[in-house]
Structure 1
């Protein structure tokens, strides 16, 4: 497994209650562990029809996060690995803004402490969402209401590790499970959801060789033997 640029995809069949649930997943998935997980939510792809209702919910949840000294038990969001990384991620936010994105919430970086920055209308070709931004940025890409176009957009990065899809339409679930070029598709969960028994790994620049997971790891230590009998 070699890193990811994992989307949480929010489809346009959702009620306000479901959008609130999706917003919970989006913000938690982007900010837990300071966003420093290969399966963190790196891109939020929301269809245009519901975007105006969804974005304020994301903003509200991000603003409620207490960030600061990681030694303080009350802190919900601490630092990233070092100041250089934080500065890079902040730079990508500024670059996205220059490309037309709207920075809705940015309390300001202090050294390696990077707050949960919310950025709306991020161009899908922006470095912020095309590369793996390994920090607590919450980038929202407003995506077409056409499912095929959205799947193509989601597949447009070099990575293919995991994904999450929020929809209540079973046929659309099947479409995204089939169409997304990733190792894992989670319905109504963050991309990072997994159990140890399940295979885990990516495709494209997100991995090579065998997958992780108990059963798959056992397979890597075995050789398949073919035999025949005379009756």
Structure 2
């Protein structure tokens, strides 16, 4: 099978074309900083063309038979399976994914695609009892029309596809703007796959460009009816503001400052194993990654000792090498940002138990003890392989710390008493939380989303159907109505 070509172009109206911007998007390998390719960026005119193509295609695609929409998604699933090795290699060289992470990302992506293939026959309307004699009351579920998608660089294939596949399945057309760091894995590979699967021209459009040039214009475009954005909270707040100006919907999955709570009766070995995954998977560059480890002071010494011992054994470096579990951060700006917060927290009294050093864009797995909740490394979203341990003396204190931030995405609670864990978890202001498991969980039929500054809306299953469709109320007056005293 020949590998995909022309992955340095825009995809508009079913055609692979050069952008018309005067600026170029340079795509770098985050491990060795080599240039992978260069793309002439999309201009505002290209954004217009993509939206017009989507608007035209949406008219017929929204009326397509449900089995046809399902068939194309199912075919796309088979193509992704056939091209898995090609996609994995792209995730490694473009997103800095280790091979394990890339394999996991492909499997998660296949999961949401398979789930989405069932959506065309799950778009149910309603028939209601009417309060008016002789009247029938109905609600029809319809596609929104055109959905604008802005995807991030950390899990680019999956976090794009969780909007792409449901949007297409529910009869919408899309315009996708990927992160500039991951245009191929965040958009162009998916466009190629759906093109190969036989998706009609114009249903799927991609504009690769700098946010400073087309970002706000993309969000405010009058054709799109919803913006699905995954990324940082500050950017998400701005998108919500801009979308509000045009009165369009938003689905925002934003940042997190997720807590991993170890209560005094927890199985420490299980907690440590989960902590390693929840913190260091993809170098901690996941919205759901554990940001703060809250550990009861009665078991904190044991937890830290075992956590440090296992963290020291994690191999960091070249993500393409077998056995590497800690690869590079996406760029050196991230290394500098995290290092600054790390050093400031150490000055304020945090104790380095292991790590703290970087080489290039690779920051070795790091554990800080004696952290206080107001230190920079705990106060901000880290998005890197640094684990701050905060010790607490009571459940009340742990709960206060857990709810202290303007984030509420994911969380974890470890205890041998399930009902104790559930009772504690219900008091944490978060969209998702897991008992005796780590914070990084996503299943295609379960509601995924956050509270507070972590976002608006829910992905997956029936929950994304509500986001990506609209209801129209239609009544039928079967018998003449009494309009007295007017008639």
SS at 2:290's partner residue?
coil
2:261 is equivalent to residue 9 of structure 1: yes
Return closer, same or farther for 1:41/1:226 CA change in 2, 3 Å cut-off: farther
Unmatched 5+ stretches in structure 2: 1-252, 478-487
Runs of 4+ with >4 A deviation: 224-227
Q: Displacement, 1:193?
A: 1.5
Q: Displacement, 1:225?
A: 5.2
Structure that is richer in helix per residue: 2
Return closer, same or farther for 1:70/1:204 CA change in 2, 3 Å cut-off: same
2:382 is equivalent to residue 133 of structure 1: yes
CA-atom RMSD, angstroms?
1.9
Number of equivalences: 225
Note the alpha carbon deviations across 1:44-90, whole angstroms, 9 max, x for none: 11011110111101001110101011222231111001111011111
SS at 1:49's partner residue?
coil
2:373 is equivalent to residue 121 of structure 1: no
Counterpart of 1:200 in structure 2 is: 448
2:279 is equivalent to residue 27 of structure 1: no
Counterpart of 2:398 in structure 1 is: 150
Q: Higher relative CO (CA 8 A, sep ≥ 6), structure 1 or 2?
A: 1
Note the alpha carbon deviations across 1:169-201, whole angstroms, 9 max, x for none: 233223222200000111011111131101011
2:471 is equivalent to residue 223 of structure 1: yes
2:459 is equivalent to residue 212 of structure 1: yes
Mapped to 1, the partners of 2:291 and 2:433 lie a distance apart of 15
Which protein shows a greater Rg?
Answer: 2
Q: Displacement, 1:224?
A: 7.6
Counterpart of 1:174 in structure 2 is: 422
Mapped to 2, the partners of 1:122 and 1:192 lie a distance apart of 22
CA contact (8 A) 1:27 1:138 kept: no
Unmatched 5+ stretches in structure 1: none
TM-score (norm 1): 0.92
Counterpart of 2:332 in structure 1 is: 83
CA contact (8 A) 1:7 1:45 kept: yes
Mapped to 2, the partners of 1:179 and 1:226 lie a distance apart of 41
SS at 2:381's partner residue?
coil
Choose 103-112 or 50-59, whichever is displaced more.
103-112
